[in-house]
Structure 1
Amino acid sequence: MFERVRAVGATNPVIVIDGRSGAGKSSLARRLVAAWPLRGRVQLVALDDVYPGWDGLAAGSTYACEMILTPHAKGAVGVWQRWDWEAGGRAEAYAVDPSLPLVVEGAGALTPETARLADVAVWVDAPSPSRRHRALERDGDTYRPHWERWAAQEDRHIEQNGPVSLATLFVRVP
Structure 2
Amino acid sequence: MSDDLELGPLLDRLGSGPQPWVLLVDGRSGAGKTVLATRIAAATGAALVSLDDVYPGWDGLAEGATAVPGIVRDGAWTRWDWVAASPGGSASVDRAGSLIVEGCGAISRASRSLADHAWWLQLDDAERKRRALARDGDAYAPHWERWAAQEEAFAAAEGSRELADLELSGARWS
TM-score with structure 2 setting the length: 0.89
Question: Secondary structure in 1 aligned to 2:56?
Answer: coil
Q: Cα distance, 1:96 vs. partner?
A: 2.3
Q: Which position in structure 2 is the counterpart of 1:131?
A: 128
Could you give the per-residue CA deviations for residues 111-151 of structure 1, whole angstroms, max 9, x where no partner exists?
A: 01111011110000101111000000000010000000000
Over 3 Å off, 4+ runs: none
Q: Cα distance, 1:70 vs. partner?
A: 2.8
Count residues with an aligned counterpart.
162
Q: Which position in structure 2 is the counterpart of 1:5?
A: 14
**Percent identity of equivalent pairs:** 46
Q: Which position in structure 2 is the counterpart of 1:54?
A: 58
Is the contact between residue 18 and residue 116 of structure 2 (CA under 8 Å) also seen in structure 1? Answer: no
TM-score with structure 1 setting the length: 0.89
Could you give the per-residue CA deviations for residues 46-97 of structure 1, whole angstroms, max 9, x where no partner exists?
A: 000000000000000002223x1133xxxxxx32221001112221322222
Q: Which amino acid aligns with 1:69?
A: V
User: Is 1:114 matched up with 2:102?
Assistant: no
After the TM superposition, which residues 59-98 of structure 1 pair with which residues of structure 2 at under 5 Å, given as runs? Answer: 59-66=63-70, 68-71=71-74, 78-98=75-95
Question: Secondary structure in 1 aligned to 2:77?
Answer: strand
Equivalents in 1 of 2:52, 2:60: separation in Å? 10
Is the contact between residue 22 and residue 98 of structure 2 (CA under 8 Å) also seen in structure 1? Answer: yes
Q: Which amino acid aligns with 2:40?
A: L
Q: Which position in structure 1 is the counterpart of 2:42?
A: 34
Q: Which runs of 5+ in 1 are unaligned?
A: 72-77
Q: Cα distance, 1:173 vs. partner?
A: 2.2
Equivalents in 2 of 1:6, 1:63: separation in Å? 26
**RMSD (CA atoms):** 1.1
Is the contact between residue 50 and residue 64 of structure 1 (CA under 8 Å) also seen in structure 2? Answer: no
Equivalents in 1 of 2:112, 2:76: separation in Å? 20
Equivalents in 2 of 1:173, 1:59: separation in Å? 25
Q: Which runs of 5+ in 2 are unaligned?
A: 1-9
Question: Secondary structure in 2 aligned to 1:8?
Answer: coil
